[in-house]
Amino acid sequence: MTLNQLAERYVAVWNDPDPESRRRQIAELWTQNGANLTDSIEARGHDALAARIEQSHNKWIRDAGMIFRSCGNATGHHNAVKFNWDMAPAGGGEPVAIGFDFLILSEDGRIIDDYQFTGPARPASTD
């Protein structure tokens, strides 16, 4: 699997409407004690990851009509990968948020730690 394919699979989990499918994908992508880490959240282990992704999916995909998209710029070395993604209306349009993920991978290529940074698509005006 290429690094961009990994990023695509990662983003696909957050968009997937089926909880059982998400759980299977989580087990394939993250180690048993793998984590998603933001400035305010630490979801560690498959159960916590499933709950974290479900909450995000329900808020942004199901209720707000958004979709997450990989930016196709994954790069990495020494079991570390970084890539960008954005969130945009599912029906098309400009991104409303952007994200940056920095992944630490195990020897078998699964995610140990996922450091996730998010922000608005455009910086706030200083005017």
Q: What is the DSSP letter of 61?
A: I
Alpha carbons 100 and 92: distance in angstroms, whole number: 21
In a domain, 32, yes or no: yes
- What percentage of the chain has pLDDT greater than the value 90? 92
* Domain contains 127: no
Residue 22 resides in a domain: yes
Question: Is 72 inside a domain boundary?
Answer: yes
CA–CA separation, 73 and 92 (whole Å): 21
Q: Note whether residue 23 is domain-resident.
A: yes
CATH number of the domain residue 84 falls in: 3.10.450.50
Which residue range(s) make up the domain with 37? 3-120
Q: Is residue 125 part of a domain?
A: no
| Domains identified in the chain, total number | 1
Amino acid at 24: R
Q: Is this prediction's pTM over 0.85?
A: yes
User: 3-15 pLDDT, tens per residue?
Assistant: 999 999 999 999 9
- Residue 53 is assigned to a structural domain of this protein: yes
